[in-house]
Each structure stands twice: as C-alpha cells, then as structure tokens.
Amino acid sequence: MPLLPNEVKTENITNRAVTAPKIADGAISTVKLGQKVVSTEKIANQAVTAYKIGQAQVTTSRLKNAGVTTEKIATGAVVASKIADNAVTVTKLKSSSVITEKIADNAVTTKKLQDGAVKTDKIAFRAVTTAKIAAGAVRSPQLSANAVTTEKIQNGAVTPAKLSFTLPPPGGGGIARPLTPPVATDEIADASVTADKLATDSVTQTKIARNTVGWSEIREQSLEPEQIKTLSGEPPTDGQVPVYDESAELDPLNPTYWWFRWETPGAGVPGVTRPITPPIATDEIADGAVTPDKASAGFGRYVPRLVTGADFTLTLDYTWREIDLSGIVPAGARGVILRVERVGTKDSESVIITADRIAYAATSIRLRPAPDPDEVVIDTHTLPILADRILDYYGDADMSAWVAVLGWFI
C-alpha cells in the first residue's frame, strides 16, 4: 500500500537510513545544514571562490607562508607603514628610482661615493672652497695662465732662483746684458735697493741729498780737520778752531740751524784753557753729544729708544693713576726721559707726573697747558723711577695728555 504525501515523519526514519542516493539533487538548502557541519573534506577543491569569502574574513593566521604573491597585492596597497625597517634593500630598488628628494640632507657621505663618480658637471658653481682643497693638491697644471697675480705671492717668496730672464715666445732666447733701455726709477720698487745691492764707493757726494747726513750717520772719530768744511766750503788752517753760530737767515724754515766758521784764537777768539771756566752749561752741549762712552764710572748709561708715537694716553679725571713702564723700561733702570704732549683750555690747571705720589714734590714734574685753547704743548722731562718702574700721575679733567718714553738711565 503506497504512502501518502508527508506521511513519513522524522521519528519513522531510522538513523543513517537516508543515504546519498536517497537525497535528490539540490534538496539540501542552507537551512538544512546544521552549524559547523561542513568540514574541510566536504568542500570541493576550488569550490570556495572570492565571492564565497566574506569581507575581512581572511586574517593573517589564515594565510599560508609566501601565499600573498605580487598578483594578490592591489596597486598602491603597500604603503610606508606596511614596509618593515631595513626591508628595502638595494636589489628592491628600481634603476633611477632614488631621486634627489629621496636623499636626506648630509646622507651622502664620502664612502657612499664611487671612485671617479663626482665629475666636473656634478660640482656646483663656487662649491669648491679653500677647505675642500687638499694640501699640495694645486700643482702647476692646475693653474691657468696668468692666475698667479701679485696679491697671491707671499712677501719674500720670490727668491733669485724663481726669477727668469727668458722672454716668452715668440722672440724667446733670453734678455741681453746690459739692459736696453736701462731700468728706470719707476721700475724699481720702493726700498728694494738694500745696502748689499750698492757697489763699493758707489754713493758719491752728488748722490747724497742736502741735510741728509746727521751726527748719527758719521762714524765716531772718523773726521779729520781737513775733511770738515764750513758753509763757505773751506777747510781750517793750522791752529784754527770752530766757532758756532745760530742763524735764521741761512735756513728760514729752521731758525735753530747751527753752523760754524773757522777762527784763529787770539783775534777776538780766546783759546781753550783747562779746566774750562765757567763750566760747560747744559745749553752748550749738543743734543745726542753725550754718548755712553763719555759717561764716567758710576754716572750711569743712557739708552735711547726709537719712538714713533705716544706709548700712553693719560686718563685725567682728578684721580691718581699709574703709568706702568715695566713693558718698556728694563729692570734696574734709575730714570727715564719722557716726551709729554698736552692740550687744554684756558681754565685747565695742570698734570703732575711723579715716581712717588706720597713725596711727589721732590720727584715730580708739573705741566701746564698753553695759554691758547687747543694749542698742543710738547716737551721732554727727566724723571727718576723706583724699582717697580711705575709712575703716578694726576690731572685736570679739562686736559688731554700723551706720554712717550724716549730712553732710560741704567
């Protein structure tokens, strides 16, 4: 007897009685499948397509090692955060892919450069500074023609061996001697004719300018009477002595010009009797005439000093201040000769310079300004100094004063 539709119920079916042949094609829908009943073995190969996988369902743990190939990565999907540190090696870089903008400042060090890689066209204009040139790197081939100008040559660097008298081509072959025309005055550099360049006896009388030879240029005891002439040009005769005069007519620009004439003692010119009476006064001794050789034992020795300007500018503000001479005057000196320049107004008082401010009345000089405002007064003074070689000074704030050390006594 046939079964009626829907007559066979679940409880009428024996377990495992429904085999595969009993199930019609397409009869098992999603609702017929229990939770987690589809195991790996039930899924046919290639059955799970991209559409069967839900969004964000494939996690890292579901991916096989090396399973993500180039084709699986979408364009632009690999951003900076996806690349591990030090993962981009040289072999990963495409040729010409590292452009200027990709290189950090100061990242290209010396060892990154290949030998010969920095060519001329790679160096920016004026990029090679002095500090970039190695010692000895600039040789003759590196210098362009006429590159060494006068300013580039050190003083004293051109020695005789560096001088060439060979003319450059065309027309080379050297310079004939003597030079024609001779070397002109304006071709000789100032101060280039030294004593070694002068031939013996080459400086004749005509080469010496008037008033050039002073007492310091005349060797001691080198002049004989017949070599000394007056302004008239005549030498002395036997027995004549020099008589000195001072005249402004002979030299209007220098009214203290001293000259002498020859006179015979007896004709209004007395002879010299020893000892001289009265003794020789200070103004009868010519400046510079008393040399160290003339000083007797115990008198001391004067040491002159070449001075080109003031050594000290005094600060005058009604306060005792010091001039420290120890940088100029040697230890053991007993006195100094100072040149003092000063200027002030009609209301200015004075400047006092002394070796001892406590007892300055006995060891000081008091210097007053000129009667006319802004007139500079220049004079010289001799002062004793103590062992510390420090002078004290005090002055009116309306004055200005400058001091130079002309010499000292040992």
Q: Is the pLDDT reported for residue 249 higher than 70?
A: no
Question: Which residues, at least 6 apart from 369, have a Cβ–Cβ distance to it below 8 Å?
Answer: 342, 343, 344, 345, 348, 350, 375, 377, 399
Q: Is the pLDDT reported for residue 326 higher than 90?
A: yes
Residue 175: the pLDDT is 59
Question: What average pLDDT is seen over the chain?
Answer: 76
Residue 259: the pLDDT is 47
Per-residue pLDDT, averaged over 49-65, amounts to 79
- Rounded to whole angstroms, the Cα distance separating 407 from 329 reads 8
Residue 65: the pLDDT is 85
| Confidence grade of residue 329 (pLDDT, cut at 50, 70, 90) | very high
Q: What is the pLDDT of residues 112-170, one digit of tens each?
A: 878 877 788 888 888 788 888 888 888 888 888 888 888 888 887 877 667 665 554 45
The residue whose two tokens read 């008239």 is 232
Residue 389: the pLDDT is 93
What structural domains and CATH numbers belong to the chain? 220-282 (no CATH), 302-409 (2.60.120)
Q: What is the pLDDT of residues 1-45, one digit of tens each?
A: 677 777 777 787 888 877 878 888 877 877 777 787 778 888 888
Residue 213: the pLDDT is 65
The least confident of 8-12, 29-33, 230-234, 308-312 is: 230-234
> pTM of this prediction?
0.31
Q: What kind and span of H or E run contains 366?
A: strand 364-367
Q: What is the pLDDT of residues 166-220, one digit of tens each?
A: 554 455 555 555 666 777 788 888 888 888 888 888 888 778 776 666 555 666 5
Per-residue pLDDT, averaged over 72-86, amounts to 83
DSSP 98-110: --GGGSPTT---G
Residue 402: the pLDDT is 93
List Cα–Cα distances, 36 to 26, 27, 29, 39, 112, in angstroms. Answer: 20, 19, 15, 7, 60
Residue 337: the pLDDT is 92
Q: What is the pLDDT of residues 357-392, one digit of tens each?
A: 877 666 788 888 887 777 888 888 888 888 899 999
- Rounded to whole angstroms, the Cα distance separating 99 from 60 reads 35
% of the chain beyond a pLDDT of 90? 9
Residue 242: the pLDDT is 55
